[in-house]
Amino acid sequence: MSDLFALSEEHRAIREAVRAVAENKIAPWAAEVDEDARFPREAADALLASDFHAPHVPEEYGGAGADALATVLVIEEVARVCVSSSLIPAVNKLGSLPVQIGGDEQIKATYLGRLARGEGGFSYCLSEPDAGSDAANQKTRAVRDGDDWVLNGVKRWITNAGESEYYTVLAQTDPEKRTKGITAFVVEKSDEGVSFGAPEKKLGIKGSPTREVYLDHVRIPGDRIIGEVGQGFALAMQTLDHTRVTIAAQAVGVAQGALDHALGYVQERRQFGKAIAEFQGIEFMLADMGMKIEAARQLTYAAAGRSERGDADLTFFGAAAKAFASDVAMQVTVDAVQLLGGYGYTRDYPVERMMRDAKITQIYEGTNQVQRVVMGRQLLAGVQSTL
């Protein structure tokens, strides 16, 4: 991908293919999934059948081998119709990327292969009751016992918990070393001692279950360490540099979906003898929405290019794309509700769901306040490139 952001013919084909799946097999269920707060099984099946459930997995492990931009396109197009469903490919990347980045060949072949074959999803267990933005404050412990490790602790706000079969779990193996005493492990849903809390009752993304994960003397073999002992926190932060770009993609997608619905509505709704789209005040709102979405999209694609290349300024661009795109998504979805007036405030139209779903993109994978801390430090360190 160049900094001109022109999509290749292959990328355009991926966008078209994902859009067809999203519109035909995911969108029809989006309102029901939200209303019933149930996992989007239809979307999961459709994404698996089309190999879009975990497109980032390299070909050598049986995956589609999609680059970072292609993965962004998948998530963007699914989020355009259903943000809950877009969390399937997004969280599969988040959960498995530490394995892909830091794992040895055995653990990569085992777990990336299972993910690619659709044998189970992959969640990411970093947050805890006392470790939200302060991610280094891990209380979950992993103690060596012979060749095994025994894990105890609680993980909170875990996306798709209970649905996923595999979990990247961060745990303290040497608390005195703080971040350098944190290690990453793969835990399986079927491991004895693994259980889940009740689903959280959330404002949005109701189709994606968010639960606590309880680890009660969970014994796992030593070959389930991801990377080296003490490398976990560094892997976690490196993972977030890449996956914040996927949250930006979600934000762009939901904002575009809201604008699409608003455009259709304002051209049909008539007041004072003409379509409300003809009023300058409406045109100005639409112009601002479209302009901001496109700016967010281009920043997201630029960040995806840096993710693919592993550029030195990825940390800045990942944080910038996530913060900017999610702020845009919140503003655009609120404006879409406004454009639909009273109808926008009802569940008969999808924009109120999109507004509720958009909010989480400003919060998870690091709040936008944290993203600004990250960007500020990058700027002060002189890391940001000059375009």
Residues forming the active site: 365
Residue 203 is classified by DSSP as S
Query: HSE on the CB side for 148, CA within 13 Å?
Result: 9
Structure tokens of 3? Answer: 């900094």
107 contact partners, CB below 8 Å, separation of at least 6:
99, 186, 223, 224, 225, 226
In degrees rounded to 5, what are phi and psi of residue 273?
A: 85, 5
Query: What does 36-72 look like in DSSP terms, one character per residue?
Result: HT---HHHHHHHHHTT-SSTTS-GGGTS----HHHHH
Report whether 68 contacts 16 (CB < 8 A): no
Alpha-carbon separation of residue 178 from 42, 134, 175, 291 (angstroms): 42, 12, 5, 44
Q: Tell me, rounded to whole angstroms, the distance of Cα 194 from its chain centroid.
A: 24
> How far is residue 354's CA from residue 340's CA, in Å, rounded to a whole number?
13
